[in-house]
Amino acid sequence: MKRTKIIATLGPATNNKEVLKKILQEGVDVIRLNGSHYRSKDNIKQDVELVRETANELNKHTAIFFDLQGPKIRIGKFEKDGVILETGQSFIIRSDKNVMGTVDYCGLTTPEIIHDLNDGEPVFIDDGNVRLLIESIQNGDLHCRVTQGGKISNHKGVNLPLSNISVSAITEKDKQDVQTAIEYGVDYIALSFVSVADDVKELREIIHSSKAPHIGIISKIERRSAVENVIEIAEASDVVMVARGDLGVEVGLEKVPEIQKRTIRECNRLSTPVIVATQMLESMVTKPTATRAEVSDIANAIYDRCDSVMLSAETAVGDFPVDVVQTMRRICEASDKHLAELKKSKYSQVKRVFQIKSAATTFCKAADQISEEINADVMIAFTSSGTTALISSKLNPSIPIIAPADNIHIVRKMALYRGVIPILMPKKFTDISSWGVMIQMSLDDAKSLGYVKAGDLAIITAGYPLGRPGGTNSIRMIEVQ
């Protein structure tokens, strides 16, 4: 069984029911909506409704996350759409966003950031393909020297790897998109270009003030400052994403693997789900097969115990969206199987796994240990908030985790957690008379969905009294009848 979750980005290649249905059947657990490409509320509404309708037809609890565009810094337009800069020449970036660019100067879409910059700092354009060095700042304009020449064209992105930018991570467009995402009922909102934990807290306040506290926040680690503050950001977030595109430009490609591994390790210690994203199967945008390097890249992320792997252009605009998901699923299945074998070969649980101690972590660790020693077939983690299932997931069990919950928002959010199979209880926990009845209800559902069968041995964790978040305090072992 695939335990690592797959996120697919919706786009022209997949936003029709026929293809969307196929990729959900092939193993996609979460759908990403890229806010950078939406210009209309109606388009967002149509895509959310398409995903919900298709997932319901498949009886699948698919999560949706809306990825905010963020304060992406870009150069302006050029008279002839683009120019070629020569290494060594001078070039001016002007504070006038409307100026038409030439071979000598161009505009900047966010001129307010210029006051944050200093002489001697680098400016990368188009993912670092063209590089400048700020020699002086005069009358609000950046006077630069080209250190690596090349072609630049309209609205190419700008990275400032050594600059401390004070601009908010949430733009006016983002604020409008947040309200739209809340209105149409997404499960997560992803915050781009996070620098510090306060950026996450700012978004949290907006979400809570809109009375949608169930919506989770995904913080994208793609700035140098975010790497330096990753622990505080992870503590403030519901999910963390290692967004390797801009991150590679900001810190240097050679440092991305170390940052990825360290971020996953810290998130697992904090019980924070973590996504690895960007160019995971990039070659399959135009080709039907993956490279060996891409397969190894995905497998290594799984061996490091990420929760989810993400497809971007591969499913949004790629030529082979279904083949891409099939390939990703096979890699996940093979790596997950090997990871489970490695877990089974160990005879004792590491005593210190999580930074925070609680009754829930203690009972989940005990349940995991028992399941390994008696060779159980499945774990069943009843949860009101999703926390018990998440803790169990972070212990990397070698068996599936079925997570019954009585709230559809929690069920969908758990679609992102590694190894967790969320199911919706037919009744609220508080309306169920006893633990035994609750267990039987969940087993009936799990059997009908094919997750368990008669004779399976199940380890069950739950809290008593029923329906109290954070109250996991009991373990049971039963044989499925």
Tens of pLDDT, residues 212-242: 999 999 999 999 999 999 999 999 999 999 9
| Whether the Cβ atoms of residue 206 and residue 178 lie closer than 8 Å to each other | yes
Alpha-carbon distance of 57 to 81, in angstroms, equals 46
| 74 carries an active-site annotation | yes
Sign of CA dihedral 178, 181, 187, 189: negative
Q: What is the pLDDT of residue 467?
A: 63
In the chain, what is the greatest distance between 2 CA atoms, to the nearest angstrom? 79
For the stretch 273-283, pLDDT in tens is 999 999 999 99
Q: What is the CATH number of domain 359-479?
A: 3.40.1380.20
Catalytic residue among 2, 5, 32, 77: 32
Sheet holding 472-479, edge to edge: 420-424, 401-405, 378-381, 457-463, 472-479
Q: What is the pLDDT of residue 220?
A: 98
382-to-187, 426, 466 alpha-carbon distances in Å? 20, 13, 9
| Whether the Cβ atoms of residue 272 and residue 252 lie closer than 8 Å to each other | no
Catalytic residue among 22, 41, 74, 145: 74
Q: What is the pLDDT of residue 316?
A: 97
**In the chain, where does the domain assigned CATH 2.40.33.10 lie?**
82-159
| Whether the Cβ atoms of residue 275 and residue 242 lie closer than 8 Å to each other | yes
Query: Class of the 82-159 domain?
Result: mainly beta
Q: What is the pLDDT of residue 347?
A: 47
* Full pLDDT tens readout for the chain, 481 residues: 799 999 999 999 999 999 999 999 999 999 999 998 888 899 999 999 999 999 999 999 999 999 999 988 999 999 888 999 999 999 999 998 899 999 999 999 889 899 999 999 999 999 899 999 999 999 999 999 999 999 999 999 999 999 988 888 999 999 999 999 999 999 999 999 999 999 999 999 999 999 899 999 999 999 999 999 999 999 999 999 999 999 999 999 999 999 999 999 999 999 999 999 999 999 999 999 999 999 999 999 999 999 999 999 999 999 999 999 999 999 999 999 999 988 877 644 555 567 777 878 888 889 998 998 899 999 999 999 999 999 999 998 989 999 999 999 999 999 999 999 999 999 999 898 888 899 999 999 999 999 999 999 999 998 776 666 666 788 999 999 8
Is this structure's pTM higher than 0.85?
yes
Alpha-carbon distance of 186 to 210, in angstroms, equals 13
Reported as type and span, the H/E element at residue 273 is: none
Using CA atoms of 319, 246, 200, 115 in order, give the dihedral in degrees to the nearest 10: -140
Alpha-carbon distance of 175 to 186, in angstroms, equals 15
**In the chain, where does the domain assigned CATH 3.20.20.60 lie?**
5-69+170-342
Catalytic residue among 94, 220, 305, 365: 220
Alpha-carbon distance of 220 to 202, in angstroms, equals 15
Q: Residues for the chain: how many in total?
A: 481
| Whether the Cβ atoms of residue 164 and residue 113 lie closer than 8 Å to each other | no
Catalytic residue among 4, 278, 327, 387: 278
| 278 carries an active-site annotation | yes
Q: What is the pLDDT of residue 466?
A: 66
| 151 carries an active-site annotation | no
Q: What is the pLDDT of residue 434?
A: 87
DSSP helix/strand/coil, 374: coil
| 32 carries an active-site annotation | yes
CATH architecture of the region 5-69+170-342: Alpha-Beta Barrel (3.20)
Q: What is the pLDDT of residue 348?
A: 47
Alpha-carbon distance of 422 to 380, in angstroms, equals 10
For the stretch 108-140, pLDDT in tens is 988 989 999 999 999 999 989 999 999 999 999
DSSP helix/strand/coil, 474: strand
